């Protein structure tokens, strides 16, 4: 019997059995799926922050399973939030109309607040500097399908670790498997925060901090690149860190053939490779990672609405 | 034979038979409905002003009946209105693509203009300081299901009566039933407008005006709270009226057990009750009211597209 | 065997056989269509610029054929473009989730860039001052159904010819048929650009330039009016040209009974006719033109996703 989630707001909610269950489901879905499974059900995507891939992959996942979607591209300005409504009231109204809600919010903790009051499942699609647990799950799924395992790996997490909610969520998941070694590569001002480091120490996960990307490329099984999140820092901070970590033709071949580059996307300038490398070199895994997002989200929607 | 509406832009269009018809339909729909009734039909929601619950409840209503939806969250900036197109031209184009249009507009009277030229049904989801007739119908439906009747009631309408289109639309409906007594509780600068008072006098509906909310609570069967609509007044006006009418633990028990609080939502600070009261005290009716919105809108869409 | 398009980004891609094929398909679709043809497929509308009719007609076309839609009303601000993502990356992610993408973009050439990298069909719904080829195809289709032919016609193209992407796309199509004579009626500062004139010379299409609209009305078979595109010029330029070309009751009857006025819409002040003329005079063809947009887009979606 796997644990059943009521809502999904942070990656710590998952245990290893449930993760394996989602991996198995996503594998099967990538082959074939019941296109009528969620017929008659409605998913609402409530997005208070910009998104392309997350919103679209959730909406596509729902439509492919036969369900319907109500969409909010710009809830910050065009929902009742602008009139001063609390997230709790919003949820207590919306839950009368739909069967599941996916929320992206600019404020950390808001999705948990929504989940706490909701009668319907609430899924976190990113909350401020908090978490992005469905991204973490698809990242882990990608690591598993690319490397054949999610343990015994050297994983370098690179870029804006202070603001990157995807790396935060991913660290919780990687800590569940034995013998992973993490290297945090970031500018001094964008270091991984203490709460995550504390969690890793508690769970006896080895980690180091590093400034120089090139030093770690040859020893990494997985290099998880992230964007410097301009919109979450001052212009001065951005100037200090932008363009600091780049993978291009000059350092790409420091990576071993069996290593993989992941990126939650969007990227700005942190990966600059010729098209033929991006298309044909197996080390470039981030578009397969985006594709995996669809299967993982289909598995999640199935869990919340059909299982 | 009930009257058949071509479009629905103001609550005066309804007569008592039609209201009873919609109540009966909504009752039935709340139990069960044909999920294929509007298959192949398309509803467009054309929203020139922010909304969560109205847009979503219409879209949910359409999807649950098996129809499809095309949505416009921010028509003010992202439709051809910004290029100077008239509402008439917009409608004459859109009616080629869809079967029904729901419009929210920032300008009073625009939805009527749309309805006048349209070949397809046009439904008013709020026009400036004008009306919000589907809200009024669901409000009346909620009063009926909570109180067992829509006549012989003391009804206090509280808050921003000058700008509140929902209370305006509701007054027209309450005036159709015998022996309702209305009390308008508002700051001096946000009094109910003369056109509505004139209508009530013509129809021999007793009404009074009051400044003090606590004075009326014990004698009210229904207290209809509304939000002070900051976005429709000057900052000075808002300072004068904000926070003036609040129901919280200190005055909530002035209400009799069989009385009900309604609110069209969103609320800001005008109802502040502990969660256990909001969840379990029957006097808190506004989330049931939101739920009723779905059934009434399903009944309306059925009337316009299937009957 | 007709040519098969992979994507559709400029009207030059069409040859006469393919145009005839789309005309025949649109004719048939206007009578009846298979409402299950694209079941299980997903179209995404990715709009970086405002639109009503184009987005809605594509979405309606997809829904009527049984497909699903994911919609983006304001991709400029609310997609990952704002975080600095390239159009190529956006497409390489989205193509994992959907079966076809319709793009409107503020920058000329961006849709071609998207089409060049995409594995799925990409349709141009307007790119900056570039092209709007599906509009051109429906314009030509309208000319054909109104006039019975697309050759041997005197066609006046009126208004903002410098910024009007629909007239640009239409010129390429008109040049494919014998003995069409084009008259470009525009202010000096908004003349048709040299690339189109060069194309017409190469294809031996007769054209002249004219300042005075009234001079050409009586000799025109088709008058294609366009809006002065305020948003694509300086305020000074706009002052010089606005209100310069107007059809109203005073000059409307210069048109012969068998002539037709087309307009891609939205219009601002360039056509000002009484409602009864707009409704009943056969010379007013622009709302039929909008309707034709639906059939042509259904034919296009069928070509890209079902044929």
Q: Specify the pLDDT at position C79.
A: 60
CA atoms within 13 A on the CB side of C166: 24
Q: Specify the pLDDT at position B78.
A: 57
Average pLDDT over residues A67-94: 83
CATH of A33-128, one of 3.40.50.1370, 3.30.420.40, 3.40.50.300, 3.40.50.720: 3.40.50.1370
Neighbours of chain C (3+ CB pairs under 8 A): A, B
Average pLDDT over residues C91-115: 96
Residues of A classed as catalytic: 53-54, 83, 104, 132
Q: Which of B229-238, B282-291, C101-110 has the least mean pLDDT?
A: B229-238
Dihedral sign of CA atoms B112, B118, B119, B121 in order: negative
Closest CA to B131 of B17, B264, B236: B264
Q: Specify the pLDDT at position C238.
A: 79
Q: Quick check: C266 and B89 CB within 8 A?
A: yes
Structure tokens at B176: 């159709």
Q: Between A and C, how many residue pairs show a Cβ–Cβ distance under 8 A?
A: 83
User: Residue A77: which pLDDT band, with cuts at 50, 70 and 90?
Assistant: low
Distance to chain C for A64, nearest Cα, Å: 7
Average pLDDT over residues C183-205: 96
Q: Specify the pLDDT at position B248.
A: 97
Q: Is the confidence at residue B165, as pLDDT, over 80?
A: yes
Closest CA to C163 of C106, C115, C209, C111: C106
Task: Tell me how far apart the alpha carbons of residues B77 and B74 are, in angstroms, rounded to a whole number.
Answer: 6
Q: Specify the pLDDT at position C240.
A: 78
Higher pLDDT, A3 or C31: C31
Average pLDDT over residues B4-26: 97
Residue of C nearest to A63 (CA): C68
Average pLDDT over residues B154-172: 94
Give C167-192 pLDDT, tens digit per residue.
Answer: 999 999 999 999 999 999 999 989 99
Average pLDDT, chain A: 94
Q: Do domains B33-128 and B133-290 have the same CATH topology?
A: yes
Q: Specify the pLDDT at position C39.
A: 96
User: What is the ipTM score, two decimals?
Assistant: 0.94
Residue A123 and residue A62 in contact, taking contact as beta carbons nearer than 8 Å: no
Parse chain B into domains and list their residue ranges. 33-128, 133-290
Give C19-38 pLDDT, tens digit per residue.
Answer: 999 999 999 999 999 999 99
Q: Is the confidence at residue B267, as pLDDT, over 70?
A: yes
Q: Specify the pLDDT at position C3.
A: 87
Q: Between A and B, how many residue pairs show a Cβ–Cβ distance under 8 A?
A: 83
Q: Specify the pLDDT at position C78.
A: 57
- In this structure, the dihedral spanned by the alpha carbons of residues A200, A201, A202 and A206, taken in order and rounded to 10 degrees, is 70
Average pLDDT over residues A40-49: 94
Residue of A nearest to C76 (CA): A50
pTM, to two decimals = 0.95
User: Residue B240: which pLDDT band, with cuts at 50, 70 and 90?
Assistant: confident
Q: Specify the pLDDT at position C239.
A: 81
Q: Is the confidence at residue C143, as pLDDT, over 70?
A: yes
CATH architecture of C133-290: 3-Layer(aba) Sandwich (3.40)
Give A222-267 pLDDT, tens digit per residue.
Answer: 999 999 877 777 888 788 778 889 999 999 999 999 999 999 999 9
Q: What residues are paired with B284 via a beta bridge?
A: B261
Average pLDDT over residues A105-121: 96
Average pLDDT over residues B52-59: 92
Q: Is the peptide bond before C307 cis (omega within 30 degrees of 0)?
A: no
Residues of B classed as catalytic: 53-54, 83, 104, 132
Smallest Cβ distance to A93: which of B53, B74, B268? Answer: B53
A74 part of contact set with chain C, CB < 8 Å: yes
Higher pLDDT, C80 or B177: B177
Give B106-135 pLDDT, tens digit per residue.
Answer: 999 999 999 999 999 999 999 998 999 999
Smallest Cβ distance to A44: which of B56, B74, B227? Answer: B56
Average pLDDT over residues A150-157: 98
Average pLDDT over residues C137-157: 98
CATH of A134-290, one of 3.40.50.2300, 3.20.130.10, 3.40.50.2000, 3.40.50.1370: 3.40.50.1370
Distance to chain C for A278, nearest Cα, Å: 11
What percent of chain B is modeled with pLDDT above 70?
A: 97
Smallest Cβ distance to A266: which of C44, C73, C89? Answer: C89
């Amino acid at each position: 019997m796997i644990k059943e989630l009521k809502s999904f707001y942070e990656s710590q909610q998952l245990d290893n059995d449930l993760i394996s269950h989602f991996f198995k489901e996503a594998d099967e879905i990538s082959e074939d799926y019941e296109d009528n499974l969620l017929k008659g059900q409605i998913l609402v995507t409530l997005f208070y922050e910009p998104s392309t891939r997350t919103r679209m992959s959730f909406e596509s996942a729902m439509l492919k399973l036969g369900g319907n979607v109500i969409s909010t591209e710009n809830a910050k300005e065009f929902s009742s939030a602008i009139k001063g409504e609390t997230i709790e009231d919003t949820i207590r109204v919306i839950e009368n109309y739909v069967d599941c809600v996916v929320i992206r919010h600019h404020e950390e903790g808001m999705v948990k607040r929504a989940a706490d009051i909701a009668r319907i499942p609430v899924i976190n699609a990113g909350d401020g500097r908090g978490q992005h647990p469905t991204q973490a799950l698809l990242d882990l799924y990608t690591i598993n399908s690319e490397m054949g395992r999610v343990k015994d790996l050297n994983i370098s997490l690179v870029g804006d670790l202070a603001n990157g909610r995807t790396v935060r969520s991913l660290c919780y998941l990687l800590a569940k498997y034995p013998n992973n070694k993490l290297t945090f590569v970031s500018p001094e001002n964008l270091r991984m925060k203490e709460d995550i480091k504390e969690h890793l120490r508690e769970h006896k996960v080895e980690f180091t901090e590093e400034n120089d990307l090139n030093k770690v490329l040859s020893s990494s099984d997985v290099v998880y690149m992230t964007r410097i999140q301009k919109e979450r820092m001052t212009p001065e901070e951005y100037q200090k860190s932008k363009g600091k970590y780049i993978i291009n033709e000059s350092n790409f071949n420091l990576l071993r053939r069996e290593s993989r580059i992941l990126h939650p996307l969007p990227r700005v300038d942190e990966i600059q490779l010729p098209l033929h490398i991006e298309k044909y070199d197996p080390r470039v895994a981030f578009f397969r990672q985006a594709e995996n997002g669809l299967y993982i989200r289909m598995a999640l929607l199935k869990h919340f609405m059909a299982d």
